[in-house]
């Protein structure tokens, strides 16, 4: 059976795409779903930092890597190298498997820009996942860059479902409106439909007045997409990242960390239902 797929995306930096990918991915594993996370967000390797892989990755130049899978030679690589997929995908202690980002994604974006045919330009990741990866996983989550690019479009084409983390601030409503515009443009220009599957309010505390106001605003604007649970701001999220792990691995999680874990777990279950899985 094909894996359910979703991409964490918002046309804005620092909203919680990577944090959301790592934590929803780990929550999905805890719910019993075999989960693969793919970092398309660039060479700083943020996603791998949540799984203690960053130093190891910096020390070696991995090949094959995520950029290899976009290339025409990929089918030959798989044919000649029995371990190609095992070399590409890393298992984590926290649960999900991960395909880390790689520096050559930047150059790849420029190469894709020279291809005219939309399906050829934006459909490469989809083709790779469908042929080589889908059968081994229940869910695939993609961590996308905070701006539109050929790589981001490949992620959106492959997932067809967006989880948009939104962080409150003076422009929060505009961020989500921009995303709707982006998805409409893709529909017009590239001919594919991408659903806004989940709006994930990050760093919002429903117990405060401001938090409830944000929630109400987004719930009325996105009644079908709003996530059932909001993610509170938690210093432990940053502590976990600095320790190279996710919240569930902390020995003494704070109260806010516990609430964040429960929220991610609830949202992970809702995500499965919205992607048409579960029972």
What's the CA gap between 99 and 90, in Å, rounded? 6
Query: How far are the Cα atoms of 44, 60, 100, 107, 217 from residue 103, in angstroms, in the given order?
Result: 8, 12, 10, 8, 39
What's the CA gap between 202 and 197, in Å, rounded? 16
What's the CA gap between 230 and 226, in Å, rounded? 9
Binder of residue 118, out of ligand ATP, Mg ion, none (CB less than 5 to 8 A by kind): none
* Contact between 98 and Mg ion per CB under 5 A: no
Cα torsion angle, 83, 89, 92, 96, sign: negative
Among 130, 175, 241, 254, binds ligand ATP (CB under 6 A): 241
Among 7, 37, 41, 263, binds ligand ATP (CB under 6 A): 41
Tokens (6 digits) for 164: 């948009």
Among 6, 37, 41, 125, binds Mg ion (CB under 5 A): 41
* Contact between 19 and ligand ATP per CB under 6 A: yes
Residue number with CB closer to Mg ion (127 or 158): 158
Tokens (6 digits) for 115: 């291809």
Q: In terms of Cα–Cα distance, which of 128, 192, 120 is closest to 160?
A: 192
As measured in angstroms, the least distance from the Cβ of 19 to Mg ion is 8
| DSSP state at residue 72 | T
Collapsing DSSP to helix, strand or coil, 13 comes out as: coil
* Contact between 203 and ligand ATP per CB under 6 A: yes
Tokens (6 digits) for 68: 């290899």
What's the CA gap between 101 and 68, in Å, rounded? 11
User: Is residue 226 left, alpha or beta, with left meaning phi > 0 and alpha meaning psi from -120 to 50?
Assistant: beta
As measured in angstroms, the least distance from the Cβ of 113 to ligand ATP is 21
* Contact between 237 and ligand ATP per CB under 6 A: yes
Of all residues in the shown chain, the one whose CB is closest to ligand ATP is 146
Interacting positions 50-109 with ligand ATP (CB under 6 A) = none
Q: Interface with ligand ATP by CB under 6 A: which range of 8-16, 79-87, 94-102, 193-201?
A: 8-16
Among 4, 9, 11, 17, binds Mg ion (CB under 5 A): 17
Interacting positions 163-202 with ligand ATP (CB under 6 A) = 202
* Contact between 11 and Mg ion per CB under 5 A: no
- Our CA angle for 70, 73, 74, nearest 5°, is 55
Binder of residue 147, out of ligand ATP, Mg ion, none (CB less than 5 to 8 A by kind): none
Contact string (CB under 6 A) for ligand ATP, positions 217-236, x = contact: --------------x-xx--
Residue number with CB closer to Mg ion (22 or 139): 22
User: Is residue 94 left, alpha or beta, with left meaning phi > 0 and alpha meaning psi from -120 to 50?
Assistant: alpha
Among 9, 11, 18, 27, binds ligand ATP (CB under 6 A): 18
As measured in angstroms, the least distance from the Cβ of 233 to ligand ATP is 4
């Amino acid at each position: 059976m094909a894996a359910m797929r979703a991409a964490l995306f918002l046309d804005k930096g620092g909203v919680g795409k990577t944090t959301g990918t790592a934590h929803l991915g780990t929550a999905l594993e805890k719910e019993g779903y075999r989960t693969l996370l793919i970092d398309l967000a660039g060479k700083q390797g943020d996603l791998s930092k949540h799984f203690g892989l960053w130093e190891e990755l910096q020390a070696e130049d991995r090949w094959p890597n995520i950029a290899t899978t976009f290339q025409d030679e990929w089918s030959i690589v798989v044919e000649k190298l029995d371990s190609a997929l095992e070399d590409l995908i890393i298992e984590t202690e926290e649960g999900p498997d991960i395909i880390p980002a790689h520096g050559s994604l930047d150059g790849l974006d420029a190469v894709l820009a020279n291809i005219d045919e939309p399906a050829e330009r934006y459909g490469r990741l989809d083709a790779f996942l469908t042929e080589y990866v889908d059968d081994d996983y229940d869910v695939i989550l993609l961590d996308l860059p905070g701006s539109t690019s050929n790589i981001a479009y490949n992620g959106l084409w492959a997932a067809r479902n967006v989880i948009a983390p939104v962080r409150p601030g003076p422009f929060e409503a505009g961020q989500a409106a921009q995303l709707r515009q982006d998805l409409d443009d893709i529909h017009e220009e590239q001919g594919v439909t991408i659903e806004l599957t989940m709006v994930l309010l990050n760093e919002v505390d429903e117990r405060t007045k401001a938090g409830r106001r944000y929630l109400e605003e987004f719930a009325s604007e996105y009644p079908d997409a709003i996530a059932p649970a909001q993610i509170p701001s938690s210093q432990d999220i940053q502590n976990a990242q600095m320790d190279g792990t996710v919240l569930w691995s902390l020995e003494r999680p704070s109260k806010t960390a516990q609430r964040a874990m429960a929220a991610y777990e609830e949202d992970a279950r809702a995500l499965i239902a919205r992607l048409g899985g579960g029972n």
